[in-house]
Amino acid sequence: MKHLKNKLDGIVGRFEEIQKLISDPDVIRDNNRYKALTQEYSGLQNIVEEYRNLLGIENEIENTGGLVQEAGDPDMKEFVRQELKDLEKAREESVRRLKFLMIPKDPLDLKNIIMEIRAGTGGEEAALFVADLFRMYSHYSESKKWKIEILSANETGIGGFKEIIFSVTGKSVYENLRYESGVHRVQRVPATESGGRIHTSAVTVAVLPEAEETEIDLSPEDLRIDVYRSSGPGGQSVNTTDSAVRITHIATGMVVTCQDEKSQHKNKAKALRVLRARLYEMEEKKKQQERSKARRSQIGSGDRSERIRTYNFPQNRVTDHRINLTLYRLEEVLQGALDEIIGALKINAREEYLKLELS
């Protein structure tokens, strides 16, 4: 607790320093500095307010503790003791809120994302579940007023996808969807199954923070670009011009294809967005491995081979295996009701961080 209070006293000192600076005419005239200071001020304000609330509670605890000794009447003594218990509980809650507020923001949280969903084991049933997950994330994004744009889709012809890649843009997209990376398992009776047997299929989801052009520099000499005719389900040609684009990043061997647009130029632009996101994620993973303590505080590893969630249709059940959360509202979840799951994942991630950093 002493370590925490020392940190908080330092934060209050910085907060009060910024209060004076943003009133200084010289600072106000410097737009960049003024903007940076006001952002820092806004980030510290909630912490300072909660710390002042904590100090007020501790002052009340001290005063109330003295009243216990002074109270002569047994009923009054019991009343004061109960009030003291309530104040101590309020102090614990305030400390917990402060610890959460002091967790540093991940700069990636504000980024837009590129999400890739691919069919794994299970054949057509897995491809159909790719479509189910795409609809789930689409409904969730709509509820958050985010925008979805399909970048690439490989359809199967019966309503499924072997793979679909799309961008999600909006406020705090990566912060909310970052924990969706991994293997999503589905257990249900496929529509094509005449015997009524339950099948287990798997789908892989990858969530990539989208990189700005300035963050990942792609020189023409780093790329091999091939063009060809688009094809649809079954391999038939769906275009009469060479509009499909395949980009190979020579240094890593990473390959991205895009054929959804009739324009070669548009397909190339979309493929470059996906390539930048994949390379950016690769760089971020290297940084995370170097920051081993921060990496241990994450829920799971973000590894796409890690089984993270099971969707069981016969039992109307969704289970997130990382936090042992089970909900019996499968249909609601698939309609985009993800707030409870995502909220629990975010809280658990903060608690894991606190165990390492502020204990």
Could you tell me the pLDDT band of residue 301, with boundaries at 50, 70 and 90?
very low
Distance CA 338, CA 357 (A): 29
The C-alpha R_g of the chain, in whole angstroms, comes to 26
Q: Pinpoint the alpha helices (H) of 159-202.
A: 173-177
Q: Which residues contact 239 (CB under 8 A, 6 or more apart)?
A: 229, 230, 259, 262
**Element spanning 148, H or E:** strand 147-155
Q: How many Cα atoms sit within 13 Å of 234 on the Cβ side?
A: 5
Q: Are 336 and 353 in contact (CB under 8 A)?
A: no
The rounded Cα 240 to chain-centroid distance in angstroms is: 41
Distance CA 176, CA 349 (A): 12
Distance CA 48, CA 15 (A): 8
> Residue 2 pLDDT more than 50?
yes
How far from each other are the two terminal CA atoms of the chain, in whole angstroms? 8
What mean pLDDT comes out for the span 183-187? Answer: 96
Distance CA 107, CA 104 (A): 9
> Residue 130 pLDDT more than 70?
yes
Maximum average pLDDT range among 60-69, 108-117, 281-290: 108-117
Beta carbons within 10 angstroms of residue 105's beta carbon: 9
* 274: exposed, middle or buried (Cβ count in 10 Å: 0-12, 13-18, 19+): buried
Residue 299 confidence (pLDDT)? 45
Residue 11 confidence (pLDDT)? 93
Helix (H, G, I), strand (E, B) or coil at 259: coil
Beta carbons within 10 angstroms of residue 118's beta carbon: 19
Distance CA 162, CA 154 (A): 5
276-308 burial by CB neighbour count: b if 16+ within 10 A, else e?
A: bbbbbbeeeeeeeeeeeebeebebbebebeeeb
Q: What percent of the chain has pLDDT over 70?
A: 88
Overall pTM surpassing 0.95 (yes/no): no
345: tokens are 């994942």
Could you tell me the pLDDT band of residue 141, with boundaries at 50, 70 and 90?
very high
Q: Mean pLDDT, the chain, as a whole number?
A: 86
Q: Decide the pairing of beta strands 182-188 and 307-312.
A: parallel
Q: Are 170 and 112 in contact (CB under 8 A)?
A: yes
Residue 335 confidence (pLDDT)? 97
Could you tell me the pLDDT band of residue 25, with boundaries at 50, 70 and 90?
very high
The rounded Cα 71 to chain-centroid distance in angstroms is: 53
Fold of 107-352: Alpha-Beta Plaits (3.30.70)
> Residue 283 pLDDT more than 50?
yes
Residue 357 confidence (pLDDT)? 65
Beta carbons within 10 angstroms of residue 104's beta carbon: 9
> Residue 241 pLDDT more than 70?
no
Helix (H, G, I), strand (E, B) or coil at 147: strand
Q: Domain map of the chain by residue range?
A: 2-101, 107-352
> Residue 235 pLDDT more than 90?
no
Distance CA 227, CA 247 (A): 9
Q: Give the sheet arrangement for strand 113-119, strand by strand.
A: 147-155, 161-169, 113-119, 199-209, 182-188, 307-312, 317-320, 325-327
CATH class of 2-101: mainly alpha
- Which of 31-40, 156-165, 280-289, 311-320 bottoms out in mean pLDDT, i.e. has the lowest? 280-289
Could you tell me the pLDDT band of residue 304, with boundaries at 50, 70 and 90?
low
> Residue 53 pLDDT more than 90?
yes
